[in-house]
Amino acid sequence: MEPNQALFAEARSDWNLERLYAELAEAKHQVAPHTKPGLTPTEKERLRGLLCGFSPAEIAKQQFKQPRTVEVALCQTLYRYVETLTGRSHNALESWRDVASWLAAAGYQASKTEINWSQAPDVSVFYGRQEELGKLQHWIRGESLNQAKTQICRLIALLGPGGIGKTTLSVRLAEQIQSQFDCLIWQSLRHEPPLETVLIDWLQQLGASPATLPTPLHDKISALTQYLRDHSCLIVLDNLDTILRRGDFVGHYRAGYENYGELLRRLGEEQHQSCLLLTSREPPKEVVMLAGPNRPVRSIELEGLGETAREILKEEKLSGENQWGQLIRIYRGNPLVLKIVATTIRDIFNGNVIDFFKQRLTLITSDVSYLIEQQFERLSDSEKEVLYQLAKEQEPLGISKLQQLLSPEILQALGSLVRRSLIEKSAAGFTLRPVVMEYVLYRLKRDT
What integer is the mean pLDDT of 41-46?
Answer: 93
Confidence at residue 4, expressed as pLDDT on a 0 to 100 scale = 52
Q: Can you tell me the distance from the alpha carbon of 390 to that of 83, in angstroms, rounded to the nearest whole number?
A: 68
Q: Can you tell me the distance from the alpha carbon of 437 to that of 423, in angstroms, rounded to the nearest whole number?
A: 9
Confidence at residue 146, expressed as pLDDT on a 0 to 100 scale = 54
What integer is the mean pLDDT of 235-245?
Answer: 96
- Taking 80 as the threshold, does the pLDDT of residue 173 lie above it? yes
> How high does pLDDT run on average in the chain?
89
Residue with the larger pLDDT of the pair 151 and 291: 291
Confidence at residue 363, expressed as pLDDT on a 0 to 100 scale = 56
What's the pLDDT band for 333 if we cut at 50, 70, 90? very high
CB proximity list for 130: less than 8 A, separation 6 or greater: none
What's the pLDDT band for 181 if we cut at 50, 70, 90? confident
Strand partners, 15: 109
Question: 3-class DSSP state for residue 164?
Answer: coil
Range from 73-87, 170-184, 313-327, 420-434 that averages highest in pLDDT: 73-87
Confidence at residue 294, expressed as pLDDT on a 0 to 100 scale = 86
Please report, as a single letter, which amino acid is at residue 250.
Answer: V
> pLDDT digits over 387-439, tens only?
999 999 888 999 999 999 998 889 999 999 988 888 988 889 999 988 888 88
Domain with CATH 3.40.50.300 in the chain: 113-301
Which pairing describes strands 233-238 and 183-188: parallel, antiparallel, or unpaired? Answer: parallel
CATH no., domain 113-301: 3.40.50.300
Do 145 and 138 meet the contact criterion of CB atoms below 8 Å apart?
A: yes
Confidence at residue 169, expressed as pLDDT on a 0 to 100 scale = 96
Please report, as a single letter, which amino acid is at residue 443.
Answer: R
Question: 3-class DSSP state for residue 351?
Answer: coil
Q: What is the pTM of this model?
A: 0.73
- Taking 90 as the threshold, does the pLDDT of residue 76 lie above it? yes
Question: 3-class DSSP state for residue 261?
Answer: helix
Q: Can you tell me the distance from the alpha carbon of 278 to that of 10, in angstroms, rounded to the nearest whole number?
A: 28
Confidence at residue 409, expressed as pLDDT on a 0 to 100 scale = 87
> pLDDT digits over 300-315, tens only?
999 999 899 999 999 9
Domain with CATH 1.10.10.10 in the chain: 371-447
Confidence at residue 388, expressed as pLDDT on a 0 to 100 scale = 93
What's the pLDDT band for 362 if we cut at 50, 70, 90? low
Any idea of the CA torsion for 258, 386, 300, 367, to the nearest 10 degrees? Answer: 90
> pLDDT digits over 112-156, tens only?
788 999 899 988 888 889 999 999 998 998 765 555 455 689 999
How far, in whole angstroms, is CA 220 from its chain's centroid?
A: 26
> pLDDT digits over 257-288, tens only?
999 999 999 999 999 999 999 999 999 999 99
Confidence at residue 356, expressed as pLDDT on a 0 to 100 scale = 87
- Taking 50 as the threshold, does the pLDDT of residue 385 lie above it? yes
Confidence at residue 19, expressed as pLDDT on a 0 to 100 scale = 84
Can you list the alpha helix ranges (DSSP code H) found in 259-349? 259-269, 285-290, 310-315, 324-330, 335-348
Q: Can you tell me the distance from the alpha carbon of 434 to that of 440, in angstroms, rounded to the nearest whole number?
A: 10
- Taking 80 as the threshold, does the pLDDT of residue 6 lie above it? no
Architecture of domain 371-447: Orthogonal Bundle (1.10)
Q: Can you tell me the distance from the alpha carbon of 228 to that of 155, in angstroms, rounded to the nearest whole number?
A: 12
- Taking 70 as the threshold, does the pLDDT of residue 206 lie above it? yes
Coarse DSSP helix, strand, coil percentages of the chain, rounded to the nearest 5 percent: 55, 10, 35
Q: Of 302, 280, 294, nearest to 129 (Cα)?
A: 302
Confidence at residue 1, expressed as pLDDT on a 0 to 100 scale = 37
CA angle 370, 432, 338 (to 5 degrees): 45
